Amino acid sequence: MDRLKGKVAMVVGAGSIGPGWGNGKATAVTFAREGASVFCVDRNGAAAEETVGLITGEGGKAAAFTADVSRAAEVEAMVAACLKTYGRIDVLDNNVGIAEVGSVVEVAEAEWDRVFAVNLKSAYLSMKHVIPVMIKQGGGSIINISSIASIRHVGISYVSYNASKAAMNQMTRSTAVEFASKHVRVNAILPGLMKTPMVAHSAGLAQSYAKGDVEAMWRARDAQVPMGHMGDAWDVANAALFLASDESKYVTGIELVVDGGITSKSGA
């Protein structure tokens, strides 16, 4: 239970859009259970506070911060607040993401810009302001949450999401190489079809899968997975734990696929 003992982990997107466990929420709790002090950031302050309450209720250490990480000034304030609270940043987990359904013909320009701002610009800004901190302190681990939609079509048309996550993969690889000599590791996790509150609350996904029927959508998504069922937030959290810990000290620039085998089968 001490794989992150003495480390400070900043989890961006540590709240959850609805009841249950989102990737960021589960990751924040997992990090705390393994000994990290967790700085929980979310645009929804109440959601961040809820995650902090779960951590402190188990005897862990955590603090909440409210920020829109698509805005540079708020990211700068976020990093400054974490340093003021804990004095360092050993782990950065970029867990923010939204999806808008639509092909290049269908998606509106404003929607395209919003998806890229939330999914990609947020990670760029967080890394921009955290990497200098990590270099100064001797290193750190950055984990960007991408998606298998970045490397294949998954049967649903949401081109802005696909493209933003593909760009995140390349940004991860490039940054990993550029800062490897400074002992800053940068890796991506590519979740497959996950059963999380974000998916449940996406009317566009439910409509595309099953004409708005969420339970039917779950069944359809389960059927796409070779293992016969979707993953959950804890699968992503456990992958993030490995990349955050010193067990992965020689791992950088990878795309860790967590998908129950979807990307290994033919078809969508």
What percentage of residues in the chain have a pLDDT greater than 70?
Answer: 98
Quick one: pLDDT band at residue 19, thresholds 50, 70, 90?
confident
pLDDT exceeds 60 at position 268:
no
pLDDT at 203: 60
Range of the domain at 64: 8-249
Residue of 123 and 201 predicted with greater confidence: 123
| 125 assigned to some structural domain | yes
How do residues 199-256 score in pLDDT, each as one tens digit?
877 667 777 787 778 888 889 899 999 999 999 999 999 999 999 999 999 999 999 9
How do residues 153-170 score in pLDDT, each as one tens digit?
887 888 999 999 999 999
Pair 168, 118: CB distance under 8 Å? no
pLDDT exceeds 60 at position 86:
yes
How do residues 39-77 score in pLDDT, each as one tens digit?
999 999 999 999 999 999 999 999 999 999 999 999 999
Average pLDDT over residues 123-148: 98
CATH number reported for the structural domain that contains residue 130 in this entry: 3.40.50.720
> Would you give the DSSP letter of residue 99?
-
pLDDT at 1: 72
> Would you give the DSSP letter of residue 182?
G
Quick one: pLDDT band at residue 265, thresholds 50, 70, 90?
confident
Write out the catalytic residue numbers.
Answer: 161
Dist CA 210 CA 216 (whole Å):
6
| 268 assigned to some structural domain | no
In sequence order, the 6+-apart residues with CB closer than 8 A to the CB of 12 are 24, 41, 42, 69, 78, 92, 93, 94, 95, 96, 122, 126
What percentage of residues in the chain have a pLDDT greater than 90?
Answer: 81
Element (H, E) at 168: helix 159-179
| 244 assigned to some structural domain | yes
Mean confidence (pLDDT) of the chain: 94
| 258 assigned to some structural domain | no
Tell me how many domains the chain contains. Answer: 1
| 205 assigned to some structural domain | yes
Element (H, E) at 11: strand 8-12
pLDDT at 213: 84
| 67 assigned to some structural domain | yes
Pair 67, 74: CB distance under 8 Å? yes
| 168 assigned to some structural domain | yes
Dist CA 161 CA 84 (whole Å):
34
pLDDT at 69: 97
pLDDT exceeds 90 at position 83:
yes
| 1 assigned to some structural domain | no
pLDDT exceeds 80 at position 121:
yes
pLDDT at 193: 93
Quick one: pLDDT band at residue 136, thresholds 50, 70, 90?
very high
